[in-house]
Amino acid sequence: MSHNTLLVFEVTILVLAIFLGIEVISKVPTLLHTPLMSGTNAIHGVVIVGAMIVLGQPDKSAFTWIVGFAAVVLASANVVGGFVVTDRMLEMFKSRERPKKPDEK
Amino acid sequence: MSTNLANLLYLITIVSFILALRFLSNPAHARRGNQIGAAGMALAIVVTWIKVGSTSWWAIALAMLIGGAFGAVAARRVRMTAMPQMVALFNGVGGGAAALIALAELHRVLPPPGAPKADISLGIALSALIGSISFSGSMVAFAKLQELIGGRPITYAGQQFVNGALFIGALGCAIALVVGVQDEWLLWVTIAASLAFGVLFVLPIGGADMPVVISLLNAFTGLAVALGGFELENNLLIVAGMLVGASGTMLTLMMARAMNRSVANVLFGAFGQVSEAAAAVAAGDGGSVRSATAEDVAVMLAYAHKVVFVPGYGLAVAQAQHDVRQLADLLESKGVEVSYAIHPVAGRMPGHMNVLLAEANVPYPQLKEMDEANPEFSRTDVAVVVGANDVVNPDARSNQGSPIYGMPILNVDDAQTVVVLKRSMNPGFAGIENPLFYNPKTVMLFGDAKDSVDKLIADVKNL
């Protein structure tokens, strides 16, 4: 793929992702807005892929080495923290039926 | 591993992220969605690991171990009431990672291959800019929420000018990079100015506006990650980053709409400083405040047919969610109908109150959104306001001079009686006087929310 073709392709999926994001989010009830935030927070932890690519480059300078290392540390904290926090929150949402209310009316 | 195979496997990750968000539409299977997302992330990491396959594998492993351990411990230890700052923190480190990647990429493409292509340098410049703002802004939001620094708006003369100058400076350097002045120092200046801008831009924003800020910063990080995808020519980063960018932007707009203010007004209005005059007016014609003892309130509650709790940030501060739920259970056992009315911007992040009450095992069908709750107040005997203030302030309906005029509120004053649990008569976070407290229907129960609720429990039991 020539470079320009690739760029056009990338812009295409970028724009489609915008609409997809809006579409998916509009179905989330306000009840779950906090888990939504921390869930999307975990998803942008995907930046770890970029950080790994940077740190994994062959023949890198000391500068890249340090910067890449720091990037992987930060991104892993983002990924792990994001998913764990979201899981803890979602675990708490229960609809369990309560003991029958005394019928007084 | 070939690039094509890697990209196909990344596609599975993308689908898992979409499913994770899709599953959030229903609390019953939201948790499974999150697990699917996590599995997709694990796949992406393994694929990248194999693809990179470099001699630095041990460095990657070590870095992942350090970051992952920090993330896991922090996420496990944090109390539910401290969730907003934890989300801000994890958001910030993601933005920081995006900015660092940009820095490393520029360093790599600059010296030998000469001028990087425009889309790559655009990705580098913008992802450094946005990632840095997100990083420093999130750290300030974290510090504010953690109360390391004061939560009140911090303002000084010429603030807008300094912020504007910093932002234009950062943007100018970024543009210079893109149009072809390929000097590394330009990126350094971009990053430094963006970091400073992030700090200065969040500092003046009051605590009550944090839900908007946090979701905006979340969108920023997503955008920075998507732009990082352009510099690394990686589809996964583009799609996943933009999903987050779009959803964060939507959430920001929804939060601003729930306060009936524009996003610009929230971000640049330095809310809470401008309200002194309006506050003075409201206090002047206030009339008197009725305070009650826990015994009085306990009687009211126990003999009511319908009680609605209205939680606010004060509930989180006092850690009173479990006590409130005990009280609610006790009332239910006496035949009282109990529900909770939740304002969209109550607390410090979108949906904050829902999480706290879920932690206290309140079944989510009892949590009513504003539109659902408001018609109910007219047939409510007692509305109990626990640590909420602005979201029940009738000035938002009627006082055009009030800074919150026009914000949709919970109409607790439609209830027969309003009980306000409040520490003292000091105005709340936003510094706005609340005429609800002077309403003849209202009784105040002063004290720490948790203590007050505990007293109520004891007194209801003794009836």
Question: Within 13 Å, how many C-alpha atoms sit on residue B111's CB side?
Answer: 5
What are the backbone angles phi and psi of residue B204, rounded to the nearest 5°? -75, 0
Higher pLDDT, A65 or B276: A65
The sign one gets for the Cα dihedral B327, B333, B335, B341 is positive
Catalytic residue of the set B296, B329, B371, B390 = B390
Mark yes or no for CB contact B230/A77 under 8 Å: no
Please check whether residue A73 touches B, CB under 8 A.
yes
* Angle, helices B184-202/B118-145, rounded to nearest 10 degrees: 30
pLDDT at A40 over 50: yes
Distance to chain B for A5, nearest Cα, Å:
12
Each residue's pLDDT, cut to its tens digit, for chain B (463 residues) gives 788 899 999 999 999 999 999 999 988 889 999 999 999 999 999 999 999 887 788 999 999 999 999 999 999 998 888 888 999 999 999 999 999 999 998 888 775 555 667 777 888 999 999 999 999 999 999 998 888 887 666 777 777 888 889 999 999 988 888 887 767 888 899 999 999 999 998 888 877 788 889 999 999 999 999 999 998 989 999 999 999 999 999 999 988 888 888 888 877 765 544 444 444 444 444 568 888 899 999 999 999 999 999 999 889 888 899 999 999 999 999 999 999 999 988 888 888 899 899 989 998 889 999 999 999 999 999 999 998 888 999 988 888 888 788 889 999 999 999 999 988 776 555 567 788 988 889 999 998 889 999 999 999 998 8
Q: Is B79 helix (H, G, I), strand (E, B) or coil?
A: coil
Q: Is B421 helix (H, G, I), strand (E, B) or coil?
A: strand
Q: Is B100 helix (H, G, I), strand (E, B) or coil?
A: helix
Q: Is the pTM of this model over 0.80?
A: yes
Mark yes or no for CB contact A30/B63 under 8 Å: no
What are the backbone angles phi and psi of residue B421, rounded to the nearest 5°? -90, 120
Give CA angle at B23 (B17, B24), nearest 5°.
Answer: 100
Q: Give the residue among B129, B133, B109 at the shortest CA–CA distance from B184.
A: B109
Q: What's the full length of chain A, in residues? A: 105
Distance in angstroms (rounded) separating the CA atoms of residues B362 and B367: 8
Beta carbons of B178 and B122 less than 8 angstroms apart: yes
Average pLDDT over all residues of chain A: 86
How many CB pairs below 8 Å do chains A and B form together? 385
* Angle, helices A47-55/B57-77, rounded to nearest 10 degrees: 150
Q: Give the residue among B110, B25, B381, B99 at the shortest CA–CA distance from A78.
A: B99
Strand order in the sheet with B337-342: B367-369, B337-342, B306-311, B382-386, B417-422, B442-446
Q: Is A85 helix (H, G, I), strand (E, B) or coil?
A: helix
Distance in angstroms (rounded) separating the CA atoms of residues B236 and A52: 13
Active site residue B390: yes
Residue B252's DSSP bridge partners are: none
H/E stretch holding B146 reads none
Higher pLDDT, A70 or B266: A70
Q: Is B226 helix (H, G, I), strand (E, B) or coil?
A: helix
Mark yes or no for CB contact A81/B70 under 8 Å: yes
Which chain B residues are Cβ-neighbours of A104 within 8 angstroms?
335
Distance in angstroms (rounded) separating the CA atoms of residues B282 and A99: 45
Q: Give the residue among B288, B322, B308 at the shortest CA–CA distance from B388.
A: B308
What pLDDT was estimated at residue B280? Answer: 45
- Tell me which of A81-85, A88-92, B154-158, B276-280 is least confident: B276-280
What pLDDT was estimated at residue A15? Answer: 94
Nearest to A32 among B24, B56, B232 (CB): B24
Confidence of residue A43 (pLDDT cuts 50, 70, 90): very high
What pLDDT was estimated at residue B278? Answer: 45
CA B363 to mean position of chain CA atoms: 23
What pLDDT was estimated at residue B281? Answer: 46
B274, amino acid identity: V
DSSP tag of B55: T
Q: Give the residue among B342, B359, B272 at the shortest CA–CA distance from B82.
A: B359
Q: Give the residue among B114, B100, B101 at the shortest CA–CA distance from B182.
A: B114
* Angle, helices B30-52/A62-92, rounded to nearest 10 degrees: 160
Mark yes or no for CB contact B246/A74 under 8 Å: no
Residue B291's DSSP bridge partners are: B444
Nearest to A25 among B21, B65, B232 (CB): B21
Q: Take residue B164 and report the two structure tokens written for it.
A: 């504007």
Which chain B residues are Cβ-neighbours of A27 within 8 angstroms?
22, 25
Mark yes or no for CB contact B27/A84 under 8 Å: no
DSSP tag of B303: T
What pLDDT was estimated at residue B277? Answer: 43
Mark yes or no for CB contact B97/A18 under 8 Å: no
Q: What is the pLDDT of residues B185-206, one digit of tens each?
A: 888 999 999 999 999 988 888 7
Mark yes or no for CB contact A92/B87 under 8 Å: no
pLDDT at A10 over 80: yes
Q: Take residue B210 and report the two structure tokens written for it.
A: 């944090």
Nearest to B108 among A44, A47, A57 (CB): A57
ipTM associated with this complex: 0.90
- Substitution target in A74, A97, A103 with the highest count of B β-carbons within 10 Å is A74
Distance in angstroms (rounded) separating the CA atoms of residues B326 and B454: 9
Distance to chain A for B191, nearest Cα, Å:
14
What pLDDT was estimated at residue B336? Answer: 93
Please check whether residue A27 touches B, CB under 8 A.
yes
